Amino acid sequence: MRKLSRPLLALSICAAPLFAGALLVQIGDPAANPEAVAKHAVVVARITACRSPEKTTLTATAEGSVNGERRSIPLKVSALSTAGTFAIVREWPDEGNWVVKLVATNPDYKNYAISVLVPFEGDRFTWAAIKHYFHAPTDAEVAAILDANHITQISH
């Protein structure tokens, strides 16, 4: 028993820093937030940062494919009254396949970003297809989501 307890103790000490100081982005349904509904939000994002949450920035971009052409549209991120909660409004055209790319950064978490790709079908995002990353998504990762979403987006 003693031989087993030492490695477990060492492992727990080494693993603790991995979970300390988390930076997270959670996606929420705007219909559940009256303030987001009033702002006509299509996505609600909640940021959690253990260190200096006030320094965290969130950027949003609509990444799309319209008639085979890639498009990128910066989106406005509006703070809601609940600390760390933001609304994103639809600012992209109806045609094409679209993914909202959210990237959170904080200078206290050097060389680290947390991000989420939120695919849309029409006016609603697809819960099951949301992808979380521990880095800013690459163009290839965005393209993969757009390609997968294209199957269901034949015509409107």
CATH of the domain at 140: 2.60.40
Which domain does 81 fall in, by range? 19-150
**DSSP secondary structure letters along 5-41:** HHHHHHHHHHHHHHHSS-EEEEEE-GGG-HHHHHTTE
| Residues in the chain, overall count | 156
SS3 of residue 56 by DSSP: coil
Q: Is residue 9 part of a domain?
A: no
Distance from chain centroid for Cα 121? 17
Q: Is residue 13 part of a domain?
A: no
pLDDT digits (tens, 9 = 90+) for 88-116: 999 999 999 999 999 999 888 887 899 99
Q: What is the domain count for the chain?
A: 1
What global pTM score does this model have? Answer: 0.80
Distance CA 66, CA 77 (A): 23
pLDDT digits (tens, 9 = 90+) for 8-34: 444 444 443 444 468 889 999 999 999
Q: Is residue 88 part of a domain?
A: yes
Distance CA 146, CA 120 (A): 9
